Amino acid sequence: MAAEYGDSMRLRTAITDPDYVPPPPGSDRDALPEHLRALIAPHMRDYVSTACETALALDRASTIHHAAMVTLMQWETRQHATCRITRKQDMAKCQCDCHQTTTTTKEN
Ligand SMILES: [Zn+2]
Ligand SMILES: [Zn+2]
């Protein structure tokens, strides 16, 4: 059960196993091997997690749909809070502003 399989076996298991559990936030369990990540990097778009993408949509909607504004903003907060921060495939960091701290040293 706890036997170590190769990457391809691990990938197949992830696809077919109904009990598959995604790795915890920040885990590199499902990340591609580092040398492959370097090869695909130019072809990957900047990462904004689906949680933060949804939060940003909720924010935009809240400026238009005033009757639902409070509810939309509550969901926005909740969505930002559930962001996994890193894209598990290549460990890219979510670019959403909600992760920027005041002492940010963002490389541009
Ligand atoms: Zn966010
Ligand atoms: Zn995020």
Q: What spacing in Å lies between the alpha carbon of 52 and ligand 1's midpoint?
A: 4
Q: What spacing in Å lies between the alpha carbon of 49 and ligand 2's midpoint?
A: 5
Q: Evaluate whether residue 105 is within a structural domain.
A: no
Q: What spacing in Å lies between the alpha carbon of 41 and ligand 1's midpoint?
A: 22
Find the mean pLDDT for residues 28-47.
Answer: 94
Number of domains in the chain: 1
Q: Evaluate whether residue 43 is within a structural domain.
A: yes
> Which of helix, strand or coil describes residue 86?
strand
Q: Is the dihedral of CA 10, 15, 17, 21 positive or negative?
A: positive
Strand partners, 93: 86
Q: Evaluate whether residue 15 is within a structural domain.
A: no
Predicted TM-score (pTM) of this structure: 0.70
Q: Evaluate whether residue 6 is within a structural domain.
A: no
Protein residues within 5 Å, CB atom, of ion ligand 2: 49, 52, 83, 94, 96
Q: Evaluate whether residue 74 is within a structural domain.
A: yes
Range of the domain at 60: 23-90
Beta carbons of 94 and 52 less than 8 angstroms apart:
yes
Find the mean pLDDT for residues 52-73.
Answer: 98
Look at residue 40 in the predicted model and tell me its pLDDT: 95
